[in-house]
Amino acid sequence: MLRGLDTADGGPDRVVVQVAGRETLDGRLTVYLRNGVSAVVSERQSRVREAIGQLESAGVVADVEVTEWPDRVRTPADGDAEADAVALYDEFVEVVGTEPLHPFFEMRPATGSHGRVLELPAICVTYRTDDGLAGLYPRWRDGDHHSIEDCLEALCNGDYVADVRSD
C-alpha cells in the first residue's frame, strides 16, 4: 500500500510514502538546516521539513530531530553550535574521508587566530543506529552523488538509507 501525503497543490513535490509491509526505521534521523539562506534555499529546506514530517506522520520514522546550524564556523569554535558542527564534520571525515564530503562541506585554513574555516551545506541528513553513523547525505560515494532527495526517496520507498557502513 502506498499512502499519498498531499502537498498543498498536489503537484510534482507530492510525497508518496510506502507504508505496507515495513517497520518503522530503527535509529535516529537528524536533519541539519543552515540558517541565513536565500529564499530559494529556504523553500527547499521547507520541502525537506515537510517531507520528514510526513514520513513521521506515516509512521516510517519515529526518532527525528531537526536542528539549525550556521553557514560557516571557525576553529577554535566560539560557541556550542559551532563546536558541535566542527565535531560532526570531524566525525564524518573519520567515517567516510574528506573527498566524499566535497563540495558540500568545505574546510580551509583560516587567517589570524583561527585554525580552520568550515562551510556547511544548506541541508544535511544523518541516520544513526546504535552502532553509530550509518547514513550521510549529501556526499559522494564511488562516483555517485547521494543527495538529500535520494535520502527522502529511499525513506518513502522503504529502501536502504544506511550508506556509510561499507566504505
Enumerate the β-bridge partners of residue 17.
3
**Could you tell me if 69 and 33 are in contact, meaning their C-beta atoms sit under 8 angstroms apart?**
yes
Residue type, 7: T
Residue type, 15: V
Per-residue model confidence as pLDDT tens digits over 97-107: 999 999 999 99
Closest by CA position to 152, among listed 44, 77, 43: 44
Cis peptide bond N-terminal to 121, omega within 30: no
The C-alpha atoms of residue 52 and residue 15 are separated, in whole angstroms, by: 10
Task: Specify the residue for cell string 549529501.
Answer: 138
The model's pTM is 0.85
Which three three-digit cell numbers place residue 110? 583560516
Give the contacts of 131 (CB within 8 A, at least 6 positions apart).
none
pLDDT at 9 over 70: no
Per-residue model confidence as pLDDT tens digits over 109-160: 988 776 889 999 999 999 999 999 999 999 998 889 999 999 999 998 888 8
Closest by CA position to 54, among listed 122, 8, 21: 8
